[in-house]
Structure 1
Amino acid sequence: MTLQQAMTMSRFSYGAKLTPDETDGGWVVTFRDLPEAITQGDDVEGALREADDCLEEAIAARIDDKRDIPVPSDLVQGEYGVCLPIQTSLKASLYLAMKEAKLSQVQLAEILGLDEKEVRRILDPEHGTKLPTIERALKALGQQISLTVIEEQG
Structure 2
Amino acid sequence: GASLSDKALAEVVKKLEQFNPSVIGLDIYRENPVKPEYADLAKTMQTSDRFIAICRGGENTTDSGVPPPPEVSGQLQRQGFSDVVTDPDNVIRRQILSMAPAPPCATDKSLSFRLASRYLKNHGIQPQLTPENNWQFGKVVFKNIQQNTGGYTGIDNLGHQVLLN
Give the TM-score of the pair, scaled to structure 2: 0.29
> Which structure has the higher relative contact order (CA within 8 Å, separation 6+)?
1
Give the TM-score of the pair, scaled to structure 1: 0.30
